[in-house]
Structure 1
């Protein structure tokens, strides 16, 4: 079976993190987001990979190459992002038999992907996920465990099984991709699914774990999941009385100085330097060549490659882009005084993150002056700066 992985999107709801990085290539634990889905497909035994690329396509090509883990890789270019059916249609020339379609910016547990591939060898299937409130999703209609339809965001859901963007289509579906544009102005894969439902009996595989990763706090969730699956491994240099507790991974080429305490799950990538006397905890990713200095505490955060938090600072529940530099004494607040959930700006609108604790989202190249304080839920756009002693209470 072939696997079509949709990885063409920019991810505007992830801005500023995606201004120079396509959303599927944002870091989740020890690899890009999309690589987790590709690895699951390879482990499930797919024979070919077709990656649909678009925004910053060369970054995706550079990572996967022409062959990935022994499986040949083809690329289909989606010049404009005009919907999921349009994305799969751009891969049509590469398709020969039955094929599985997976979202490159979603996470699925590996066992469920394997079950989808196995079930798909017997006929068309869709991935489903059970939720308490399906009204914000595409919801499947079923009769005797066979899919009879799908309803988008229904007020009265026909089931609690929602669409997770995972489909196994028969070979004939290659010719059914020329659907009409929807009212949203996109070519929808669910319209292709409707044709498959008319022509064939479509089964279901209930996915054990799934996460749609579209907004910055969901990138934290994704890292909480995948860093939490890592086993302890210390390949880098750990000096003196540094204390590493639990499932901590220190890659070769990383350095942990005297007096540092790390409480897993934490991943320290190659070239990173921590300490002396720093405290790192709670599903934190410290990317390649990052620097965490004296007296710094970092908790449950993603710090991307080349960034530095050098002196006596606190960063909690935050995402820092590449080459960020926080001046000495920078303090990130991640908790509201009223204990309400923290809101964050997504495409110009304030949206609840659903999280009681959420700090700052800093784009690439952000620099803060010494003793800067930053309110919960603030976005610092690419290249933004603060003055020494400044309190940053709004997006910049």
Structure 2
């Protein structure tokens, strides 16, 4: 049996460790990560190994050669252009003439490969994916199997709302050679995105082997450190190639240690290390070959690569130092700091916690470094949430932040692309818009400034002016929280896809910018978008019937922009508007209905002529009524009641059930210029048009709407437990009618329950519908209790 080691990764999330070092060559206890993979294959009798290369290939070739030093035979296959995971394996096709294993060169694992192969044989599988359980499955492919191990659902890098299990794809596979026939030559093809979904759709025998044992994808600096601590603690059943001179104290050969040195296990000390008098090496410290630690220095949880010189009386706590680093006397290095290859830190310098210094930098004497040099710190969570990027104004979202963000976005665009920009009327939002504009233009991107606006206006303008995309900035409500939201839209005016969000995030974290004085973008100001939008709105309603009704409205909205923006529209329709707080009373003003518009013009609350506030389900039903005759297809979220689907069918509206994310609902009818569920003004006008046609007050229409009994609960759930909760929920409800469009929707005789992990907070939403309000409440409470128990 043969194997393929995937060793082409750049390891961008591990920078600066991987600035000069391919990810499989990053050392774990003074040995390249890939060496552990070779040892594991050899342990299971697999010695004929292909190695795929792309990034810094010579570093890997020079280290491992033909493999004879490790008791295996290595054959290298280098990619000149990226081929993806499947394309990389297909590139080795001439070598792979029998059953083979695919394994990553940058993971640490002791999983029993022989057991996985036996499982593969027993199932007569075409492909077997080796699976493991993890706390946070977002960065992996989540997999679900039946009781025989046959894979029946696969989702690559899900959001929390899509997580249906904590069982993930490890990137290790057992394949029959026939798998190669499904992969195109010389093209970028990915197993998770293309090959496995195809196998699933075609019913190919693709199985999942739930493995026991240790597995760690070395995907971040924190995980890189933890993997070595786990090796030292004996959690990984792999050989540590050093002498254990005392419990969990490992030394390689030719180590010189002064008699006054204090060692506190577990520690690992590489070949030719010299520890001078008075050095204290604390627990979980790892010293690479040829390192010298001068007298009086204190180390704790320090990871030091080879050929590093540490000066006297220095303190290193929780820091990672790469190769050939020179640390002066009395230097202080903080927790989580990373020092790149060939750096020089002069005497009495201080590097604060979390700071990352890229290779070949020099820090002056007595200097204090508080921010990363050249590249910034990776964020602790995704930039994007459900509805864009959010943060406290001038604290988390600053002009400096949006400048970097816009430059990251520009890196993904072609020079000369046109990007639309708008912001709400708040001065700080306008300031941020100008920072974004400057950054985009300096990166060679043309900008079109719409001035003051909202998201529906932005979406319309991007489509009308055929821009490549757009960015809208607004101050969210409630205003006292000072939360800024930044929304990105694509060329169709839809929120950008999750794939594009990831690309923006990666470019931001890596600070991959392109700027040149020879290619500056142009700035355009577009004053006509508002007029064009309002004109297009009136084309979608029966103006004459609205004018005949002489509607009176009470509108509560933000005071700076909306009243002036809406004035010409309502004037042309003969609608009288009073602006004020809804609590003053719709009846008091003699209004036909009351509307509370959200600041960004996307959502609204509705009140009848009697002052009765409509439920979200009633508003949704009215929106369906208002869409009839002008829309053919509409996206309804899985959280919407079943009665609305029946109503849509009566109205001859095609309904597509979608995720609750705005993009998912909008892209059902992406060709539409207006999206009723996310354009409050358009929805309001369509509703007025419908009321005028029916010549009935709103309260009469409400009485005709189907009754819906819904209940919503929010259950606290730590991030690390969400995957387990979803898996247990699936296991418990096996055999019931389930829907996995978004979260887990469970149907039973009494109604349905939707279990939806929140993408931004540590909780799970429970939404239920029942035949009665009591049934819905009982269902929601029952599942909320189970979620709490599963944790």
**TM-score greater than 0.5 by the shorter chain:** yes
Between the aligned partners of 1:54 and 1:262, the Cα distance in structure 2 is 40
Q: Which moved more, 1:55-64 or 1:130-139?
A: 130-139
1:38-77 pair list within 5 angstroms: 38-68=38-68, 69-77=70-78
Between the aligned partners of 2:324 and 2:206, the Cα distance in structure 1 is 51
Between the aligned partners of 1:130 and 1:79, the Cα distance in structure 2 is 35
Give 2:184's match in structure 1, choosing from 178, 191, 199. Answer: 178
- Decide whether aligned partners of structure 1 residues 136 and 13 sit closer, same or farther in structure 2, where only a CA change above 3 A counts: closer
Answer whether contact 1:308 1:323 (CA < 8 A) is retained. Answer: yes
- Decide whether aligned partners of structure 1 residues 25 and 298 sit closer, same or farther in structure 2, where only a CA change above 3 A counts: same
Give 2:189's match in structure 1, choosing from 183, 187, 191. Answer: 187
Between the aligned partners of 1:328 and 1:47, the Cα distance in structure 2 is 48
Give 1:150's match in structure 2, choosing from 154, 161, 169. Answer: 154
Cα offset for 1:245? Answer: 5.4
Cα offset for 1:24? Answer: 0.5
- Decide whether aligned partners of structure 1 residues 126 and 268 sit closer, same or farther in structure 2, where only a CA change above 3 A counts: same
Cα offset for 1:281? Answer: 2.2
- Output one character per residue of 1:114-134: Cα deviation in whole Å (capped at 9) or x when no partner: 422333344332111113343
Q: Which moved more, 1:188-197 or 1:261-270?
A: 188-197
1:17-56 pair list within 5 angstroms: 17-56=17-56
Instruction: Name 2:113's counterpart in structure 1.
Output: 113
Higher RCO (C-alpha under 8 Å, 6+ residues apart): 1
Between the aligned partners of 2:185 and 2:283, the Cα distance in structure 1 is 46
> Are positions 1:98 and 2:99 aligned together?
yes
1:166-245 pair list within 5 angstroms: 166-178=172-184, 187-190=189-192, 191-197=194-200, 198-229=203-234, 234=243
Point out the structure with the larger strand share. 1
Q: Which moved more, 1:154-163 or 1:190-199?
A: 190-199
Larger Rg: 2
> Are positions 1:141 and 2:147 aligned together?
no
Give 2:342's match in structure 1, choosing from 350, 362, 365. Answer: 365
Cα offset for 1:38? Answer: 1.8
- Output one character per residue of 1:89-147: Cα deviation in whole Å (capped at 9) or x when no partner: 221221111111111111112x4334223333443321111133434431112222311
- Decide whether aligned partners of structure 1 residues 117 and 308 sit closer, same or farther in structure 2, where only a CA change above 3 A counts: farther
Secondary structure in 2 matching 1:92? coil
Answer whether contact 1:127 1:165 (CA < 8 A) is retained. Answer: yes
Between the aligned partners of 1:231 and 1:87, the Cα distance in structure 2 is 31
Secondary structure in 1 matching 2:94? helix
TM-score (norm: length of structure 2): 0.43
- Decide whether aligned partners of structure 1 residues 65 and 19 sit closer, same or farther in structure 2, where only a CA change above 3 A counts: same
1:339-358 pair list within 5 angstroms: 358=336
Secondary structure in 2 matching 1:163? strand
- Decide whether aligned partners of structure 1 residues 234 and 171 sit closer, same or farther in structure 2, where only a CA change above 3 A counts: closer
Between the aligned partners of 2:309 and 2:205, the Cα distance in structure 1 is 55
Secondary structure in 2 matching 1:13? helix
TM-score (norm: length of structure 1): 0.84
Aligned-residue Cα RMSD (Å) equals 2.3
Cα offset for 1:61? Answer: 1.7
- Decide whether aligned partners of structure 1 residues 19 and 333 sit closer, same or farther in structure 2, where only a CA change above 3 A counts: closer
Secondary structure in 2 matching 1:36? helix
- Output one character per residue of 1:234-277: Cα deviation in whole Å (capped at 9) or x when no partner: 59xxxxxxxx7532122212211121011122111111101211
Secondary structure in 2 matching 1:164? strand
Between the aligned partners of 2:186 and 2:289, the Cα distance in structure 1 is 45
- Decide whether aligned partners of structure 1 residues 262 and 80 sit closer, same or farther in structure 2, where only a CA change above 3 A counts: farther
Between the aligned partners of 1:34 and 1:115, the Cα distance in structure 2 is 21
Give 1:129's match in structure 2, choosing from 128, 132, 135. Answer: 132
Give the length in aligned residue pairs.
Answer: 359
- Decide whether aligned partners of structure 1 residues 55 and 311 sit closer, same or farther in structure 2, where only a CA change above 3 A counts: same
Secondary structure in 2 matching 1:224? helix
Between the aligned partners of 2:5 and 2:242, the Cα distance in structure 1 is 31
Instruction: Name 2:372's counterpart in structure 1.
Output: 395
Cα offset for 1:196? Answer: 4.2
Between the aligned partners of 1:88 and 1:231, the Cα distance in structure 2 is 30
Between the aligned partners of 2:117 and 2:303, the Cα distance in structure 1 is 32
Query: Structure 1, unaligned stretches of length 5 or more?
Result: 236-243, 335-357
Instruction: Name 1:162's counterpart in structure 2.
Output: 168
1:234-313 pair list within 5 angstroms: 234=243, 246-313=247-314
Answer whether contact 2:109 2:214 (CA < 8 A) is retained. Answer: yes
Point out the structure with the larger helix share. 2
Instruction: Name 2:333's counterpart in structure 1.
Output: 332
Between the aligned partners of 2:197 and 2:112, the Cα distance in structure 1 is 23
Query: Structure 2, unaligned stretches of length 5 or more?
Result: 374-791
